[in-house]
Amino acid sequence: MAKTIRRSGSNGGITKPDPYATAAAARKGKSKTAAANNIFKMNTDIGQHILKNPGVAQAIVDKADLKQSDIVLEVGPGTGNLTTRILEKAKRVIAVEQDPRMAAELTKRFQSTPATAKRLELILGDVIKMPELPYFDVCISNTPYQISSPLTFKLLATSPSPRTCILMFQREFAMRLFAKAGDKLYSRLSVNAQMWATVTHVMKVGRNNFNPPPQVESNVVRITPKKPRPQVSYEEWDGLLRVVFVRKNRILRSGFLGTSSVMEMLEANYRTFCAQQDILLDEGPLDEVVVDGMDVDEAGAGDEEWDGIMDMEDEDDLPDFFKEEADRKAKKLQDNPNRKRKGKVAELVRAKVKKVLETDTDLGDKRARLCDEGDFLKLLYAFNQEGIHFS
């Protein structure tokens, strides 16, 4: 109850409410209400921003065009604001949640409706670390921003592919999905997404629709895998893109011939290919020390280590081979980084790579950021014809 102030004067005693006491009481009441509505503190380090706007949640589910027979994969269900609406339209929901607190809240939410709860399968764990995803028809996700890239690649690589995916992303990440050759945001993600799927924009979502509000705006996109699936090995395709997009502003000749870790990887893969095809190789060393005097672009001169690994836009997706190779090669070349004895197999692989870049495709002087899907397909085909593989 607000305090009062009694004033005396010529007109007698007058009682007025104290405005400061009233404001303090209002703040106290508001604080109690907020505490009651706050289940626990959100862990923004793992991207916990709960979608609180019911209109946006309903619009996302409506855009998925769900059927009564659909099995839906939901990544990061949180407290179940999307889950509830999905269960109204789909046969079953498989929800993958990393936070045990959120999983407990989700379970509690459906305890009073056993029939609905039976159609909800809750998996506690990290979706990225799952060896393989269970079968699903549609994926719907208010995606934790930290796993946007690995989740997208995991969904693109899923076989059989889902009918469609409705995903919430940070706005800049969403723009990368649409980017074309020459655009600032053009990346390995852009090429991969557009190779395997049709990507369309669904809606913009402001930061105030979340609790707590993130630092960035969001976009909802629809990723619809192409059917039939392009007849290209996903591992080979993605392996090529990993190499060329480590430094997308370098010319391709420099990215391949001027980066010793890449050449050693291709040599190892070529040896494996020859062993599988019963092709004999001359393993002898060259007669003299070879100093690589290849011209490269302004990024550097001569053979260099793949020090662009840490600049890679998707570090979480980096193959273990490159991580180990970077450490090993850096130590090995401390004494003499620019001179090394090359074997005949290494020179054979080098000649094949040079032939592909300069003769077969004429793409050696082109930069990855300016190459389109057709250029990369041409490169992959030419390399494979020479027995050079990326997986």
Nearest CA-CA partner of 179 in 195, 197, 194: 194
φ, ψ dihedrals at 299, nearest 5°: -70, -25
Contact (Cβ atoms closer than 8 angstroms) between residue 105 and residue 90: no
> Hey, is 308 helix, strand or coil?
helix
Strands 14-17 and 50-51: unpaired
Instruction: Tell me phi and psi for residue 290, to 5 degrees.
Output: -105, 125
% of the chain surpassing 90 pLDDT: 67
> What is the rounded radius of gyration, in angstroms, for the C-alpha atoms of the chain?
29
Largest CA distance in the chain: 116
Please give the structure tokens belonging to residue 101. 């607190």
Residues belonging to the binding site for S-adenosyl-L-methionine are 49, 51, 76, 97, 126, 142
How far, CA to CA in Å, does 170 sit from each of 105, 149, 245? Answer: 25, 11, 21
Region 289-306 average pLDDT: 44
Residue with more model confidence, 166 or 335: 166
| DSSP SS3 for 225 | strand
Q: Compare 366 and 10 and report the one with higher pLDDT.
A: 366
The whole-angstrom separation of Cα 257 and Cα 306 is: 11
Q: By C-alpha distance, which of 115, 128, 118 is closest to 76?
A: 128
**Do residues 110 and 120 make contact, with C-beta atoms less than 8 angstroms apart?**
yes
Cβ–Cβ contacts within 10 Å for residue 25, how many? 14
pLDDT at 330: 44
DSSP assignment of 155-207 equals: HHH-SSPPSEEEEEEEHHHHHHHH--TTSTT--HHHHHHHHHEEEEEEEEE-G
Q: How many beta carbons lie within 10 A of that of residue 281, not counting itself?
A: 13
The answer to whether residues 94 and 74 touch, using CB atoms and an 8 Å cutoff, is yes
Tokens 């705006």 label which residue? 217
Closest by CA to 107, choosing from 128, 140, 78, 133, is 78
Q: How far, in Å, CA of 39 to CA of 103, rounded?
A: 13
pLDDT in tens, 177-227: 999 999 999 999 999 999 999 999 999 999 999 988 999 999 999 999 999
3-state SS, residue 245: coil
Query: Is residue 100 predicted with pLDDT exceeding 50?
Result: yes
pLDDT at 239: 95
Q: Is the overall model pTM greater than 0.75, yes or no? A: no
Across residues 274-282, what is the average pLDDT? 91
Structure tokens at 81: 């604001």
* 216 in Cβ contact with 170 (< 8 Å): yes
